Structure 1
Amino acid sequence: MNKKLDISASIVLYKEDLEELTKTIECFLNTPITKKLFLIDNTENKEFENIFHQKDIEYLAIGKNIGFGAGHNTILSKISNLSYHHLVLNPDVSFKPSVIPNLIAKLERHEIVSMIAPKVLFPNGDHQYSCRRYPRVSELLIRRFTFLKPLFNSKINKGIYKDKDLQASFFADYIAGCFHLYNTKDLIKLNGFDERYFLYMEDVDICKKIERLDKQKLYYPKEEITHVLKQGSSKNLNLFFRHAISVFKYFLKWGFN
């Protein structure tokens, strides 16, 4: 029987910037542990086929855009006996070779932790505030209508934990899904992401599901990554409506409190 890999990872692809994607893939492949990367191509014309040929990569063509969560879920059966840890990774992230091994070491020290995530920076070095309290309807409305933000700045700041020391690790309500490092066995128990969310809110939802396992999500700022962050729903009307639909589904599922 083959020994399990230290880590597997998955990236869902759709209309990606090839330069950013290449950098992300190189960062993962430079990690000095046993690994495998699944590239899940949600484009209709297999846009990313025959581009990446490294031995630790497996390419999967879906043939249609099934969404973020469903895309990552396609490899659950493949990783259940393949790896000890699994990384849900965005295609616009970069990090040092030591980041994943150090996160794994921290994750393995805490039985209660199912998922760990690092501090996230913008390319210019600014803090991205990737860990947040569970959203309320009022807060999401304030964020959407920018003219309201100056009137409710304290509510927004509390939502992104500006009232805490973000240089210290803690159990966050939820952590944005650009870089989620899981114990593989726990991700399998969760059945991955809820596929009712096509895009947006699936990262909040899975953090709620982790608590149903009596486990936690650890924000660990001693390790850092850089994330481009497209914020597509604030610029694209179609993505805005997809975001709104996901928000509605989230509150129907978990309640409006």
Structure 2
Amino acid sequence: MYDIVCSLVIYKNDRKQLLDAINSFLNTDLKVRLVLIDNSPNDDLIDIKKDSRVEYIHNPSNPGYGSTHNIAIRKYSGQTKYHLILNPDIYYAKGVIEDIISFMNGDENIGLVMPKVLYPDGKIQYLAKLIPSPYVFFARRFLPLKSLKKNISDRFELRFSGYDTIMEVPYLSGCFMVFRTEVLEQINGFDENIFMHMEDLDITRRCYDAGFKTLFYPNQIVYHDHLFKSFLTVANLKMYFTSAFYYYNKWGWFFDKKRTLINKKTIKAIDSAKRNK
């Protein structure tokens, strides 16, 4: 039985950056398994790390981000209590995973945890979010008025919280997600109809809907050397919109009552926590 299994989906990644992510996870005394699933056309990265704890799977069919993680989730679901979804552009210090596991062991109702995420220069990435309405989703990207876009984004990204307290959040980033494995089994992993983008929102919401806590945990920090790529190519832009339309067709466009109730509950809880500090 592993303490935690990590799946890391790769595609033509920079070797140094990828090694930083790999070494971060392996820098532990826990019993771990790292599953590298390589969606690249060739297996040039097969020799990226020689370690008995590492399994390399070449998967050139490239079925999508969530579908690829599901390969590892299903293979090891009965062999670990926790499963880490990790991006190849993440790195962190020893002790992060150990503390998150200890925190989750203290409450069986915790289904998902994301730590505080920083840019390499130490600035916060605001990745604990509300569930976006279609207006919020599109307006914060395409509205011409910067002041209005900022107001929308600040509320959506819960910046008023200060990002300094544990809080239950309905949308956590897929760059670093620690799941309780039984939750992934119950909700059947990622929705494989989403190739990329929105899969983290969808799985966080399904975890939340299943009655488990989805928590932002600022007591630990990871670094995300992130470049937002959705608009860099026509293919990525198309993928971005395809995922959005699928998500809203699934959960509801303007008549998603649960979205409104969940967001109100989240804001009320954060406001209450701030008042009681």
TM range (shorter): over 0.9
Q: Report the Cα offset of residue 108 of structure 1.
A: 1.2
User: Of residues 168, 182, 190 in structure 2, which corresponds to 1:185?
Assistant: 182
User: Of residues 76, 82, 86 in structure 2, which corresponds to 1:85?
Assistant: 82
Q: Distance in 2 between matches of 1:152 and 1:36?
A: 42
Q: Report the 3-state secondary structure (helix = DSSP H, G, I; strand = E; otherwise coil) of the residue aligned with 1:15.
A: coil
Aligned residue in 2 for 1:28: 25
Q: Displaced runs of 4+ in structure 1, greater than 6 A?
A: none
Return 5+ residue gaps in structure 1 as ranges: none
User: Of residues 103, 107, 129 in structure 2, which corresponds to 1:110?
Assistant: 107
Q: Aligned Cα RMSD in Å?
A: 1.2
Asked whether the equivalents of residues 40 and 60 of structure 2 are also in contact (C-alpha less than 8 Å), the reply is yes
**Which deviations, in whole Å up to 9, do the C-alpha atoms of 1:144-191 show, x marking residues without a partner?**
226333224222110000122310001011111000001112112121
Specify the code of the residue in structure 2 equivalent to 1:173.
P
Q: Percent identity?
A: 32
Aligned residue in 1 for 2:162: 165
Structure with more helix by fraction: 2
User: Of residues 240, 243, 255 in structure 1, which corresponds to 2:240?
Assistant: 243
Q: Which moved more, 1:224-233 or 1:46-55?
A: 46-55
Return 5+ residue gaps in structure 2 as ranges: 257-277
Aligned residue in 2 for 1:5: 2
Asked whether the equivalents of residues 10 and 38 of structure 2 are also in contact (C-alpha less than 8 Å), the reply is yes
Q: Distance in 1 between matches of 2:14 and 2:109?
A: 37
Q: Report the Cα offset of residue 18 of structure 1.
A: 1.1
Q: Report the Cα offset of residue 225 of structure 1.
A: 0.3
Q: Distance in 2 between matches of 1:40 and 1:188?
A: 20
Asked whether the equivalents of residues 170 and 208 of structure 2 are also in contact (C-alpha less than 8 Å), the reply is no
Q: Report the 3-state secondary structure (helix = DSSP H, G, I; strand = E; otherwise coil) of the residue aligned with 2:100.
A: helix
Specify the code of the residue in structure 2 equivalent to 1:218.
L
- Indicate whether 1:200 and 2:197 are aligned: yes
Specify the code of the residue in structure 2 equivalent to 1:51.
I
Q: Which moved more, 1:140-149 or 1:188-197?
A: 140-149
- Indicate whether 1:209 and 2:171 are aligned: no
Q: Distance in 2 between matches of 1:230 and 1:64?
A: 25
Asked whether the equivalents of residues 140 and 152 of structure 2 are also in contact (C-alpha less than 8 Å), the reply is no
Asked whether the equivalents of residues 14 and 42 of structure 1 are also in contact (C-alpha less than 8 Å), the reply is yes
Q: Report the 3-state secondary structure (helix = DSSP H, G, I; strand = E; otherwise coil) of the residue aligned with 1:163.
A: helix
Q: Report the Cα offset of residue 230 of structure 1.
A: 1.9
User: Of residues 51, 55, 66 in structure 2, which corresponds to 1:54?
Assistant: 51
Q: How high is the TM-score relative to the length of structure 1? A: 0.95
Aligned residue in 2 for 1:127: 124
Specify the code of the residue in structure 1 equivalent to 2:78.
N
Asked whether the equivalents of residues 140 and 150 of structure 2 are also in contact (C-alpha less than 8 Å), the reply is no
Q: Distance in 2 between matches of 1:107 and 1:114?
A: 8
